[in-house]
Amino acid sequence: MAEPGLANGQRRRERRPSQREGAERDIYRSLAASIDFGQQTPRYFQLAAAMRKAITSGALHAGEAIESERRLATLTGMSRVTIRHAIEELLRAGLLSRRHGSGTYVSERIDQPLSLLSSFSEDVRMRGGRAGSVWISRETVAPTPHEAFALGLRPGGLVVRLKRVRTANNEPLAIENAVVPAELLPSPESVTASLYAALAKLGHRPATGVQRLQATLASAEEAELLGVLAGSAILRIERRSYLTDGRPVEYTTSAYRGDRYDFVASLAATTPARGGGA
């Protein structure tokens, strides 16, 4: 008897998996095959280690979407709970990243040079992306004691404080809190996309700067703003920049997603002292 919807004598053609789909299935099945059920090590941890190896070896490519929990459970024969715990381990380690409404992907790393004094917007444009902002606050206020000290302000001075989530191609990458003396930037609303562009129009673009980096974990609030798990890796950056005459113009603290950024510095060898050892 013919299947419903098919004429007599016709057979339904079975869809064969593409070569790529077949390769993906092989990758995920090999991950499951690497699990030693006799070990005391939790299965999710073994699966996370196997996926880490697949990512670092290039079997799972940067930017590639990871199958859904349900699909992975089918391909590997493991429970969705095991799959979920393994993925959460890799999200915390920064090897995977989650995009709201889209899915989970192998993280693509951004190499950010430390030797250039440039704005977030300029950095994104240099990589061919589209920079954006989700504003949290723009205000002119009295500085905190720490901000007043960092900017060398006299008593009674005011600052413009700008807090926003910085995005590239609509993906949240960093939380930025910039503080500038109000005498150098009278109106918070003058900053639309780039702080440095607004300062340049007023003749106050930073000329030199100092940055400090610290590796920490994302708070619950930061995780929500950046679309990552609480406790994920975060790179905190404190930047102080100066005008050509040495006056402080900017004090910015930022929280960058550790799963997306590698900060890179160029090094040069020093001339060894005569008679010096290795």
Q: Where are the domains of the chain?
A: 19-106, 110-264
CA 162, 166, 169, 171 torsion-angle sign? negative
pLDDT tens digit sequence for 163-211: 999 998 888 999 999 999 999 999 999 999 899 999 999 999 999 999 9
Q: What's the pLDDT at 12? A: 46
Please state, in angstroms and rounded to a whole number, the distance separating the CA atoms of residues 249 and 200: 11
Q: Please name the amino acid found at residue 162.
A: L
Examine the pLDDT at 274 and tell me if it is beyond 70.
no
Q: What's the pLDDT at 108? A: 72
Examine the pLDDT at 100 and tell me if it is beyond 90.
no
pLDDT tens digit sequence for 217-267: 999 999 999 988 889 889 999 999 999 999 999 999 999 988 777 666 666
**Could you tell me where the beta strands, DSSP code E, fall in 18-155?**
96-99, 103-106, 110-113, 131-141
Residue appearing with tokens 């919807």: 5
Q: What's the pLDDT at 37? A: 74
Q: What's the pLDDT at 147? A: 95
pLDDT tens digit sequence for 115-157: 677 888 888 887 777 889 999 999 999 999 999 999 999 888 9
Structure tokens at 106: 């192998």
For residue 107, what is the DSSP state?
Answer: P
Give the homologous superfamily in CATH for domain 110-264.
Chorismate lyase-like (3.40.1410.10)
**Mean model confidence pLDDT for the chain:** 82
Please state, in angstroms and rounded to a whole number, the distance separating the CA atoms of residues 109 and 258: 9
Q: What would the 3-class secondary structure string for 1-53 be?
A: CCCCCCCCCCCCCCCCCCHHHHHHHHHHHHHHHCCCCCCCCCHHHHHHHHHHH
Q: What's the pLDDT at 17? A: 43
Which of 210-216's residues contact partners 24+ apart within 8 Å by CB, and which partners?
210/239, 210/240, 210/241, 211/114, 211/237, 211/238, 211/239, 212/237, 212/238, 213/237, 213/263, 214/238, 215/258
Examine the pLDDT at 60 and tell me if it is beyond 80.
yes
110-264 matches 19-106 in CATH topology: no
Cβ atoms of residues 75 and 29 within 8 Å = yes
Cβ atoms of residues 45 and 31 within 8 Å = no
Cβ atoms of residues 108 and 62 within 8 Å = yes
For residue 246, what is the DSSP state?
Answer: S
Examine the pLDDT at 32 and tell me if it is beyond 80.
no
Most trustworthy range by pLDDT among 44-58, 60-74, 173-187: 173-187
| Higher-confidence position of 200 and 49 | 200
Q: What's the pLDDT at 15? A: 41
Mean per-residue pLDDT, 73-100? 83
Taking alpha carbons only, the member of 162, 161, 160, 136 closest to residue 226 is: 136
Partners of 248 in beta bridges: 242
Q: How far is CA 100 from the centre of its chain?
A: 14
Examine the pLDDT at 51 and tell me if it is beyond 60.
yes
Query: What's this model's pTM, rounded to 2 decimal places?
Result: 0.62
Q: What's the pLDDT at 271? A: 64
Buried b / exposed e along 17-32 (16+ C-beta atoms within 10 A): eeeeeeebeebbeebb
CATH number belonging to the domain at 19-106, selected among 1.10.10.10, 1.20.120.1200, 3.40.50.300, 3.90.180.10: 1.10.10.10
Q: Quick one: which H or E segment has residue 180?
A: strand 171-181
Q: What's the pLDDT at 14? A: 43
